[in-house]
Every structure is written in C-alpha cells, then in structure tokens.
Amino acid sequence: MSVSKEEIIGPELSDTKFSDEDSRAVVLRQAIGNGYGLNSIIFTRDISEALLIAKKIQAGNLRVNTGAGMDANMPSGGFKQSGWGMERVPRPRTARIKP
C-alpha cells in the first residue's frame, strides 16, 4: 500500500485492521518500516493492546481512540523523515526523545 510508504501532504487516513497476533505484526511492520513518523492514531476496545502497539510505533504524535489534533501543552513533531524535529519541547530536549 503506497500510502503507508510515502509522505502524504494533507489530511489522509490509512485504515488498517487486524484481528490476531500475526496480522498485528504485519500492520506494525508497515507502520514502522517506512521512513516517516508524524502522526499515528490507534482505535481499539482493548487498552492493553493499544499500549502494546503504542510502545512500538515511531510517531511524533500518537493518540488512542480519538481523532487527530494537537494539545498546545505537549511537544509536537515527527520522527524519521517527517517534520523538522520537535516543537514545544522543554529543556533538556533529550527528556522526550525516543532512542
């Protein structure tokens, strides 16, 4: 799916469903394996599943069971080739940067 491999400018939704561990692994490889990481939203009824996925996703902004948006009090930005780094990050900058 090219949407998961290319940076799209503008609002875009790539809805990928899974129902078991094997298909979850495929979806995670698609999400992690591309060069971009600006936003990610996880919709699920299982909060432990959401936390498991959230720990693996590499995105500057990650939300669970809510639409896209920004909290003015939280850092914002992208990972990998997305964005220009993080904005609104208090010092030290390394406090909220994923390795």
pLDDT at 92 over 80: no
What is the rounded (10 degree) CA torsion for 87, 93, 95, 97?
60
Q: Mean pLDDT over all residues of the chain?
A: 72
Q: pTM of the prediction? A: 0.60
Q: Do 85 and 77 form a contact (C-beta atoms < 8 A)?
A: yes
pLDDT band, very low/low/confident/very high, at 88 (cuts 50, 70, 90):
low
pLDDT band, very low/low/confident/very high, at 1 (cuts 50, 70, 90):
low
pLDDT at 43 over 70: yes
Cα-to-chain-centroid distance, residue 49: 15
pLDDT at 97 over 70: no
Q: Identify the residue with better confidence: 4 or 65.
A: 65
Sketch the domain layout of the chain as residue ranges: 2-96
